[in-house]
Amino acid sequence: MGGLLTFLFLLSLGIIFGRANEKSHLKRLSAEEDQMSHIKVLSIKTLPPNLAQGGALVQGNVVIAVDYFKVIMSTIRMIFGGRLNSYETLLDRARREAIIRMQKDAESLGADAIYNARVEFSAVGQQPQKIGGAELFAYGTAVRFET
């Protein structure tokens, strides 16, 4: 009985705070993406001819935790298979956050664009079978255009 109560308590905490967090995070992400849109992020290596001398490595990372509600939802979903929507949104948010942090790093160097941008994932956490936390890491080369 106590176990069931704890489970329900954790689940409701996960639903309430997890949802609220996700909503406010998505709002902040689209605002910051607009703000950072002057720094182009490109995944190509071919450089245009009009670049100023020099370049620098820029990076951004974020470690996110998955909430209890998402864990339960995905455990249920794993019985039937199919899309794990809760993890999809989580990873999408984290990836966008990492890219924004990389853009901020580039902005602080006065760069105009980031070439060869890569995003890398690694699992951080105590239980290897579950994603306790996940790190998304974005890096690339910041360059300046010649004026």
Partner 1 sequence: MIVTNIETVPGRDITQHLGLVQGNTVRAKHVGRDIMAGLKNIVGGELKGYTELLTDARQEATRRMVEEAESKGANAIINVRFSTSSITSGASELYVYGTAVVIA
Q: Is the Cβ of residue 77 or residue 125 nearer to partner 1 in the bound state?
A: 125
Cα–Cα dist 128/121, whole Å = 14
- Site residues, partner 1 (CB under 8 A): 10, 13-14, 17-18, 21-22, 45, 47, 51-57, 59, 61-68, 70-71, 90, 97, 115-116, 118, 120, 122-128, 132-133, 135, 137, 139-141, 143
Is the separation of the CB atoms in 133 and 124 below 8 Å? yes
CB 17, min distance to partner 1, A: 4
CB 129, min distance to partner 1, A: 10
CB 95, min distance to partner 1, A: 13
Instruction: Give 19-28's long-range contacts (Cβ < 8 A, gap of 24+).
Output: 19/69, 21/67, 22/89, 22/93, 25/93, 25/97, 26/93
Is the separation of the CB atoms in 103 and 96 below 8 Å? no
Q: Is the Cβ of residue 47 or residue 84 nearer to partner 1 in the bound state?
A: 47
SS3 121: strand
Q: Is the Cβ of residue 80 or residue 145 nearer to partner 1 in the bound state?
A: 145
Q: Is the Cβ of residue 80 or residue 110 nearer to partner 1 in the bound state?
A: 110
Is the separation of the CB atoms in 29 and 93 below 8 Å? yes
